[in-house]
Structure 1
Amino acid sequence: MAAAADGFRTLDEKSVVDYIKATPTLHAQLGNQLDGLVVKEVGDGNLNFVYIVVGPAGSLVIKQALPYIRCIGESWPMTKERAYFEALALKEHGRWSPDHVPEVYHFDRPMSLIAMRYLKPPHIILRKGLIAGIEYPLLAQHMSDYMAKTLFFTSLLYHSTLDHRHAVAEFCGNVELCRLTEQVIFSDPYRVAQYNRWTSPYLDHDAEAVREDDTLKIEVAELKSNFCERAQALIHGDLHTGSIMVTGDSTQVIDPEFAFYGPMGFDIGAFLGNLILAFFAQDGHADKGNDRQAYKQWILKTTEETWNLFQKKFISLWDEHKDGNGEAYPVSIYNKPELQLLVQKRYMAGLFHDALGFGAAKMIRRIVGVAHVEDFESIADASKRAYCERRALDFAKMLLKERRRFQSINQVISAIQEIPAC
């Protein structure tokens, strides 16, 4: 494909090799042995091309953003500049959580292209592991660590207001991806929209009920305001189980192209909400050999541990750096231990309720909105799929509307466990 006026051209498996040969940084990463490179396009997401490149002396991944949404086509244009913000976010989050973010080797802004570390097998997408019923004993530990560090160290608890505003301004340019999030999460599920879909006819009434639920709409409006107006920390912006690659002892967060300075609870809620979706999907994957009951309990235990560990680690970072440059609660003002504890308690309660709200909104949109999850989509029997989806949807609606009555993650888990089996 010929280069556009801005220097952009879409690569394919052959031209990726030519690109690597013309880029010294990438030859070095491949040990300067370019004969026998194997290139495979593996992008199964909604937006981009992703190429795995393996050579005799090294490997890497090349990701290229397209000027439209891949899963829809050219009828839904999308800025290529999202690659710039993804590269920035990978570097910034990698700075604070290097064990859980793949290293960036090269970024080409005109080509909207990022080259980064290849997460070799047996790494798989977490969502696929959850569908397969695989337990990851370190998942809660790793994800709580990633979220605590990336959110704390990019917030006013750590930064001065001057540094924070500069960082916020840098990411303000990621407007199209934020706009997309606003549309598909906070707007489209609550109205008749072109790309909405659900398991019809089974969920026709359920989708209509979402569109007619005034209380739900009022709560979603509040969350949307929070999402649009609150520059709390550098969030990943799309932290679902399809944006995480795992093995038994490794957890790597990928694809932060939706990154911007927004509410911390959006990332936490996205992860927890997707775990809860995986829980509700398990009945659709059960068979005579495995009823998935034990695995469902493991998912709930992981959900509970993730929040509890996150809270503990986040407060620990806050305590450790309370005398630093952070200007949210200067020690010269918040100078009594009991006042510090009161501030932390109020802050974490607000963050918890934000996470529950955003998590519930993410669950709803995955059932009656545009982009669904493989957890449900891979259930071949439509009636069984709809049964699982309805239970998830009903829980998400309750959680969104009643999130403030929950004071701990344990209470949320208990509410899930109390849902009667049908």
Structure 2
Amino acid sequence: MAGAGRYLELDQEGVRRHLADRPALAARLGGDPGGWTVREVSDGNLNSVFLAEGPSGGLCVKQSLPHVRVDTNWKLPLDRAFFEAAYMRAVAPHVGAAMPALLDYDPALFCLTMERLSPHLILRRGLIARIRYPRMAADVGRFVARACFATSALARRFEAVMDDIALFARNQTLTRITVDLVLTDPYRLSPRNRWTAPGLDAAAAAIRDDAALKHAAARMGERFLGRPQALLHGDLHAGSVMVTADETRVIDGEFALMGPIGFDLGLFVGNLLLSLFSQPGHAAADPACVTRIQNWIALQIGTVWQVFETEFRRLWDANAVRAGPGAGDVLPRGAAGRSRAAGGGAG
């Protein structure tokens, strides 16, 4: 996955040299490298992110670090950048502009260079500011439908699906993070758990003592690890989506794995629910304003599912008339199978 001995952590000047050494990327920025503006905008937990601006345009550079960015004692392998690049290449032909364009991947530096998104804002920040994005929910539902259908056995021969199962099964470190932080730790005592004590002590204890809830979480964990239906983003939440009023772009696919199609949808809907219930705790606003944004978020949850289902069914029906190399090996849905497929097609 990487060349030998060339890895180093990039700083602003390192990013400048990295881009200047690549004529196609330098041409996108234009002008003299010394005049480019390079600034670090790292916001997440895992990587360094830089924005480079030149007279002709901008670029985004993202590099894996050998540790969690906010905790140098938490060591991580560098290959998450490889899996993010592999995810983007696999999904991009099917989702169009719903992701930023991947322009370069350096396997020695574990560094991706992508299209610079502007004036997009991270969705989480927009929701905290109570901004409504009219396209967001439909765009996300359509993205998940197209990415998952195209990488499933409904659209591809099983050999291609199994190749991706083998490839993304190596993304074990980030899959372990999901298993621990999403499917296990919230339901037990763990040093990673945080809550406002003592006010929420009883609520946290109730979750730990809820046998039915823990059983349901265990079932979801089994499905997550045991149903490689399609190539998942794996970390689809309000911090992995950038928005304007007119456009939605999905970023940060380093958690990619083959898994159950419903997982990406569930993560995103769960994140919208967190946003809904957290609204009263954000910047002061009158109760009527809080109620309006909560009602709007609730409507977006329904839209995400409805658009996903409609688009997935459309793609499945279109696949039914395909023939020849590339067609899926699973029987097409067809008119006779509609009711049965509706219960299991997205499972």
Q: Quickly name the TM-score band, shorter chain normalised.
A: over 0.9
The offset of 1:284, in angstroms, is: 2.0
* CA RMSD, 1 decimal: 1.7
Q: Is the 8 A contact 1:235 1:260 kept in 2?
A: yes
Residue 247 in structure 1 maps to residue 249 in structure 2: no
Residue 219 in structure 1 maps to residue 216 in structure 2: yes
Residue 257 in structure 1 maps to residue 254 in structure 2: yes
Q: Counterpart of 1:362?
A: none
- 1:74 pairs, out of 72, 75, 96, with 72
Q: Deviations over 1:193-252 (max 9, x none)?
A: 222211222111211222222111111111111111111100000000000000000100
Alignment of 1:74-223 (within 5 A): 74-121=72-119, 123-223=120-220
Change (3 A) 1:224 1:6: farther
The DSSP-based 3-state class of the residue aligned with 1:291 is helix
The offset of 1:77, in angstroms, is: 1.0
Unaligned runs of 5+ in 2: none
CA–CA separation in structure 2 for the residues paired with 1:23 and 1:99:
24
The DSSP-based 3-state class of the residue aligned with 2:7 is coil
CA–CA separation in structure 1 for the residues paired with 2:57 and 2:104:
15
Number of residue pairs the alignment of both structures matches: 340
Q: Deviations over 1:42-83 (max 9, x none)?
A: 111111100000011121000001111112x23211111000
Q: Counterpart of 1:415?
A: none
Q: Is the 8 A contact 1:91 1:103 kept in 2?
A: no
Q: Is the 8 A contact 1:65 1:83 kept in 2?
A: yes
In terms of mean alpha carbon deviation, does 296-305 or 46-55 score higher? Answer: 296-305
Q: Deviations over 1:246-280 (max 9, x none)?
A: 00001000000000111111100111111111111
Q: Write out the 4+ residue segments of structure 1 that deviate beyond 3 Å after TM superposition.
A: none
Q: Counterpart of 2:328?
A: 326
Q: Is the 8 A contact 2:31 2:55 kept in 1?
A: no
CA–CA separation in structure 2 for the residues paired with 1:138 and 1:43:
26
Query: How much identity, in percent, do the aligned residues show?
Result: 38
CA–CA separation in structure 1 for the residues paired with 2:181 and 2:299:
29
TM-score by length of 1: 0.77
Partner amino acid for 1:284? Answer: G
CA–CA separation in structure 1 for the residues paired with 2:188 and 2:138:
38
TM-score by length of 2: 0.94
The offset of 1:297, in angstroms, is: 1.2
The offset of 1:28, in angstroms, is: 2.3
The offset of 1:158, in angstroms, is: 0.6
Greater share of residues in helix: 1
Residue 274 in structure 1 maps to residue 276 in structure 2: no
CA–CA separation in structure 2 for the residues paired with 1:6 and 1:179:
27
Q: Is the 8 A contact 1:315 1:344 kept in 2?
A: no
Q: Counterpart of 1:29?
A: 28
